[in-house]
Amino acid sequence: MAKSAATHPIVQPVLRFHQKDQDVFLGVIPSSLLNQWTKVWDISTEPKEGYQRPPIEARFREFAKYLTTPEGYMTPIIINCRGHWRFLPDGSGSVVGQLQIEGPGSILDGQHRRGGLILALEQGQAEPVPFLAYNDLHHRVEVDLFDTINSKARPLSKSLLDFNQRDKDLDVQVALLLDTEPDSPLYQQLSYSGSRDGTRRITLEGMRRAMAPIFRSGKLSALVKEDRAQAMKAFFKAVADTWATEWSDSKNYKLRELTGMAAVCMVAGDVLSESYDAKTRRVDEKKIGDLLQKAAGHGIDWTKKGEYSGQSGFGGALVIGKDLAQAIWSK
């Protein structure tokens, strides 16, 4: 980056291409220039022409912190130059050149990244910022493009986020073993995308949440991933054997849905602790079955139109789980 004779900042090199009625530029701008020469049209500070939500300063701090990590990469910010950034080609007809900044550009997408970059800059961390810039979009087109970018995109499901971050979460890794190993009662039963189509009626995120308390404390907390998976396979096999009809019929029974699976997981910690032998690092499958039979003997009603018909999600699972615990451990 250099300065012209007119003391206007210069960004180079920049690639120019044409899209419909617009020149569009690709390049990298220092975060210091981004701070000085761009503006966010926020409705709280620009009530007449503003069109973006007020910023959330906590997200500035989150992004500034993210930039300090080894994987803290900077993704491109979208700018509308509003006619203030002049392209100077390297030669006649060249698509490579420099942008001379003569006035502020508008941040069309990336206000929180910009805020995080400014915060990082104040802390002494300068960053090169990739950008895509439109030469001079009409204000109405700029607003419409902003609306399209921010209203059409679907947020990632928590299950997909869990899957993508699986190397950081032992509970997710155990759930994935239950889904991918053919000897598991839950083989190919979990949805990684968050949808509940076909046989994949339980989300990965739901299973991770249901199982997490089981291994949070006590002797089961010392189990490694593979032993945790083996214990859960034995537990779910006993569940499937104890309530065979309910397990196989998801149309009429809620056992093999999130509510049912979370409910049985609420008693799994105590049942597995009672059945686990630290010397063999195995659980006693017969003992698991005997304990679950006590619940079956009390007539836990898994029908969708029965006693728990209005119970769903983790709230409903808590109601059913309390009844399961009462049935198993009552004298």
The pLDDT tens digits of the residues spanning 192-239 come to 988 877 778 899 999 999 999 999 988 899 999 999 999 999 999 999
Phi, psi values for residue 322, rounded to 5°: -65, -40
Average confidence (pLDDT) over 171-185 = 97
Average confidence (pLDDT) over 60-84 = 95
pTM for the whole structure: 0.71
Omega prior to 13 cis, within 30 of 0: yes
Average confidence (pLDDT) over 248-258 = 92
Predicted local confidence at residue 129, as pLDDT: 96
Strands (DSSP E) contained in the chain are 10-19, 22-30, 38-39, 77-80, 85-89, 96-101, 105-109, 128-134, 190-191, 202-203, 276-277, 282-283
Predicted local confidence at residue 274, as pLDDT: 94
Tokens of 268: 């799994």
Q: What is the DSSP letter of 154?
A: P
Does residue 97 contact residue 14 with C-beta atoms inside 8 Å?
Answer: yes
Predicted local confidence at residue 281, as pLDDT: 83
Q: Decide if pLDDT at 6 tops 70.
A: no
Percent of the chain predicted with pLDDT > 70: 98
Predicted local confidence at residue 5, as pLDDT: 44
